[in-house]
Structure 1
């Protein structure tokens, strides 16, 4: 159980008042408690409030990842609106905001309402808003904003139907409310996800946005639809798509559709291909009569906050950006060894309900053993491979004979705990409602997770 805030929320940690309880996975509590109650006194992960399986996030690694992205974006004059769908955690977004994030990116109307409830003033919805009820909610939400506040919400469009719905939904709103709604025309790729499929269609749609009296900001898209890896050919394909996005923005500027009263926005994802995005998008574009039009490049990468030990570890653009430090995996899912039923096989209490498996299976990182005196410090776990997952079980193959006779780092017994690295953090976080933020074994915070 997580959610309602009934305890005293600290000004710099409003989630400290979030309530957890006996039904919160990863915790073993007798009754309801606030986050502040649970972490009071800095307990250890092996203390009574916690149970296995448990999702932990390394505090120093979170700071490292957030700091690297913030520094690289700032040095290149690029704004960052991290995609919070990765974690849907107010505590983790607070770190990104403190490091200079322009705002938050979301994927759904429900996520938009959630982050607005967190108090985030600037939000980019990276999809078209097509439900009249949600448009009415947005209109009313922005109408309540005090004069002079920075609040605004940016939306994508890829159809005239979407534009028509916005026009009808914003009818009757005052000028200040309408000005807080920004519109981006989305460019897609054939066979990809959302977005118009041609420059001509995008220009026609931009003209419709302007004719409707909406605030057209520029262009957006998702380069991840272009390539699934980082070979030279795939990176070249992403670069060509980025050139197309910039050319489309240039066409908007030359026709006076965007970039007139404010900089032209060029927005892309950036998680796996930020190096390509940074090389292709920044810089002014030619406008009417050859004069330069200023641009705002806004990237929306989100998975970087925890990174991973799989997909993003392989496609990490930070190793390709001069002067940038590689990101590190911050998330570990700990599960108890339930059985060692035969030589070379351990069954752990972690499954599809606890870890992502849509791209890669987890990877075993650490072994924490029990002794008569309590839990020993984690040791690196070598010679293992995750071979399969059930709903609540993980199959861990051990190098031949090492279950009982191998080096200490590979001796696995029932009751021990194994720490697993993950691949694709988005589909791990959606299995949890709380993550323990740790410094070593000490739990310094709980990051609550919204749906």
Structure 2
């Protein structure tokens, strides 16, 4: 099978198998070598097949972002430990989680709280009984950021209420992303200071934890800072949730690049989205069948990588270098500035992306490839059956 077989059409999401394998192995070895546990954020791809690769490489568990994702990943059967890196505030979701845990759907699930309401919801669903499969993390946020209590004192008060409600506290969690948008020295210092606050919160709630206190952070863009500063907490159990690394990208994460700063091999962008040139209506302009419905645009526009012609049966010719830039996207169209008028209708362009998370969710299936050869089909379980 090939990406240009007669039963396929453009746009097509392709993942390079060697790139995925390299990224998964590289990050697994780096985190294990640093003494850090890994719960990769599978909301990046929501693909059981990709998660199974991450699990086989040594991931402690899988991280999800929503109760619906939690139910989906529990349904895969291969994720026995999960972390819901978000507040669980609906008693219906908590009740379903209780039933799943009682039924043995997972060995352990950790959830976050940042309010008395969250504690009350869990207490009500779990009847004030310390459930050995449920762990609770108090989330620490930042001023002006998203979820999480804002102070260490607030974390302590909430930790006490978790224990008073008969729930098992395992530690603290947070997300460093709102602290910095780049990798200047000042921004990396800001992330380091945030890690210090999370360490302080962990030390403050440790008396309420039976065993090593968990410190959990994101880590995708600032893994080097997170690992270095959280592992400085003696006796703590550090769990990072890096997820975008599995595909990497040609934009945001390529620029952030915490892994080479951590002293390991550079990751490889593994995503290519292939799309056809629909029109070349005027000099210097080509329009491709690729838009907001097909590729991420929340951080940067897609990056044209190569162009390929098509033969009379639709087979692709060899790739050629392309001097082009995406200037705008509509729902299903990409506007390319092409100084050399090097694109014609029917050509196919391979695009790199910035922020893989918001590219995967455009698709329900994709292909795993070695060059043009399809070696597997991937399913992305972003929608749940009603």
TM-score by length of 1: 0.82
Please tell me whether residue 129 in structure 1 is matched to residue 88 in structure 2: yes
Tell me the alpha carbon deviations over residues 180-232 of structure 1, each in whole angstroms, 9 at most, x when there is no partner.
00000100000001000011111111111111121100111000111111110
Please tell me whether residue 428 in structure 1 is matched to residue 377 in structure 2: no
Q: Within 1, Cα distance between the matches of 2:7 and 2:241?
A: 36
Runs of 4+ in 1 over 6 A off after TM superposition: none
Q: Within 2, Cα distance between the matches of 1:374 and 1:446?
A: 21
The verdict on how the C-alpha distance between 1:52 and 1:209 changes in structure 2, with shifts beyond 3 A counting, is same
Q: Within 2, Cα distance between the matches of 1:110 and 1:378?
A: 42
Q: 1:356 aligns with which of 272, 288, 296?
A: 296
Please tell me whether residue 56 in structure 1 is matched to residue 14 in structure 2: yes
The DSSP-based 3-state class of the residue aligned with 2:367 is: strand
Tell me the alpha carbon deviations over residues 89-140 of structure 1, each in whole angstroms, 9 at most, x when there is no partner.
1111111011010110000000000000001111000011111111110111
Shift of 1:262: 2.1
Partners of 2:275 and 2:349 within 8 A in 1 = yes
Partners of 1:340 and 1:413 within 8 A in 2 = yes
Query: Which has the greater radius of gyration?
Result: 1
Q: Within 2, Cα distance between the matches of 1:240 and 1:206?
A: 22
Correspondences of 1:361-380 after superposition (within 5 Å): 361-372=301-312, 375-380=315-320
The DSSP-based 3-state class of the residue aligned with 1:423 is: coil
Shift of 1:426: 1.1
Q: Within 2, Cα distance between the matches of 1:373 and 1:182?
A: 57
Q: Counterpart of 1:247?
A: 200
Partners of 2:5 and 2:315 within 8 A in 1 = no
Shift of 1:376: 4.2
Q: Counterpart of 1:171?
A: 127
Partners of 1:271 and 1:304 within 8 A in 2 = yes
Q: Counterpart of 1:228?
A: 181
Partners of 2:112 and 2:139 within 8 A in 1 = yes
Which shows bigger deviation, 204-213 or 272-281?
204-213
Correspondences of 1:246-395 after superposition (within 5 Å): 246-253=199-206, 256-258=207-209, 261-285=210-234, 294-322=235-263, 324-372=264-312, 375-395=315-335
TM-score by length of 2: 0.96
Q: Within 2, Cα distance between the matches of 1:81 and 1:321?
A: 18
Which shows bigger deviation, 327-336 or 374-383?
374-383
The DSSP-based 3-state class of the residue aligned with 1:93 is: helix
Q: Counterpart of 1:115?
A: 73
Q: Counterpart of 1:36?
A: none
Partners of 1:368 and 1:375 within 8 A in 2 = no
Q: Within 2, Cα distance between the matches of 1:377 and 1:60?
A: 22
Q: Counterpart of 1:74?
A: 32
The verdict on how the C-alpha distance between 1:298 and 1:51 changes in structure 2, with shifts beyond 3 A counting, is same
Aligned length: 381
Q: Within 1, Cα distance between the matches of 2:253 and 2:233?
A: 31
Q: Counterpart of 2:350?
A: 419
Gapped runs of 5+ residues in structure 1? Answer: 1-42, 286-293, 404-410
The DSSP-based 3-state class of the residue aligned with 2:226 is: helix
